[in-house]
Amino acid sequence: MRLKTCRVSAQCPRCGTSTKKVHSRYVRRLADLPWHGVPVVIHLQTRRFFCVEPGCQRKVFTEPLPGTVALWSKKLSVGRSTPLPHACLGRPSGSETS
């Protein structure tokens, strides 16, 4: 599954300044819960931003994805019991698709 972020801007985690200035993009490989016994791997294109605050020591940062994936994690957020394809489709885990 291939996904990409779609926010227009991101906030610097150090100073809180909002910026639209993209530094670069990269793809993260994330594991999700199995879907009908099939392993799910998500290729998430995310971005690095420049902090535009002159006094901030953090010059480049990765856009935060709260509630989705932790900064250095290789898996989607724990605590979910529904695989992503079912969560996106609004179907409970274990229901049959037609």
The pLDDT averaged over each successive group of 10 residues in the chain (98 residues) is: 86 96 91 82 90 96 76 53 45 42
Q: Is residue 98 one of the residues assigned to a domain?
A: no
Q: Return d(Cα 73, Cα 97) in angstroms, integer.
A: 30
Q: Is residue 74 one of the residues assigned to a domain?
A: no
Q: Is residue 73 one of the residues assigned to a domain?
A: no
Q: Number of structural domains, the chain? A: 1
For residue 3, the SS3 value is strand
Ramachandran bin of 55, using left for φ above 0, alpha for ψ from -120 to 50, beta for the remaining angles: alpha
Q: Is residue 77 one of the residues assigned to a domain?
A: no
What pLDDT does residue 65 have? 75
Residue 78 phi, psi (nearest 5)? -75, 165
Q: Is residue 95 one of the residues assigned to a domain?
A: no
Q: Is residue 94 one of the residues assigned to a domain?
A: no
Domain that holds residue 59: 2-67+82-89
What is the reported pTM? 0.66
What pLDDT does residue 13 have? 92
